[in-house]
């Protein structure tokens, strides 16, 4: 079981949340999965359910590796995510007229298979 003591001492994770966070932890550095990819990998739930888990319990895991399907950085956490992407070498792409890059899903997306 994952330790979520940073979030809420003594709180046990719901089983689905635990599975989502376990998947998040195995995504290799420099790679990403969308919320929908995680749900598909687990064979249950959907993007919204995965997003909810990440919002409530994702702080102790590499949350920046689970992203929106359009590659946009998580609103309100763009700078922290961008810093992590640069450290990990996650492929990014510039978008005309946008001040923040997006994750290049074509190159960064991980399918869950061992590398």
Tens digit of each residue's pLDDT (9 = 90 or more) over 22-67 = 999 999 999 999 999 999 999 999 999 999 999 999 999 999 999 9
Alpha carbon 91 to chain centroid, angstroms: 15
- Single pTM value for the model: 0.88
Q: What's the pLDDT score for residue 6? A: 46
Element (H, E) at 92: strand 92-93
Element (H, E) at 67: strand 66-67
Place of tokens 């003594």: 10
CA angle 103, 16, 44 (to 5 degrees): 70
Q: What's the pLDDT score for residue 98? A: 87
Domains contained in the chain, CATH given: 15-108 (1.10.10.10)
Q: What is the mean pLDDT of the chain?
A: 91
Q: How many helices (H) and strands (E) does the chain have?
A: 5, 4
Q: What's the pLDDT score for residue 64? A: 98
């Amino acid at each position: 079981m994952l330790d979520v003591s940073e979030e809420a001492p003594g709180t046990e994770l719901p089983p689905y949340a635990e599975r989502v966070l376990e998947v998040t932890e195995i995504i290799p550095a420099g790679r990403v999965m969308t919320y929908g990819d995680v749900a598909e990998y687990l064979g249950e739930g959907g993007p919204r359910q995965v997003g909810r888990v990440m919002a409530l319990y994702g702080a102790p895991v590499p949350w920046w590796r689970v992203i929106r399907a359009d590659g946009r950085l998580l609103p309100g956490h763009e700078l922290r995510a961008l810093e992590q992407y640069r450290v990990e070498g996650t492929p990014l792409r510039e978008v005309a007229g946008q001040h923040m890059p997006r994750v290049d899903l074509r190159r960064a997306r991980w399918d869950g298979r061992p590398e």
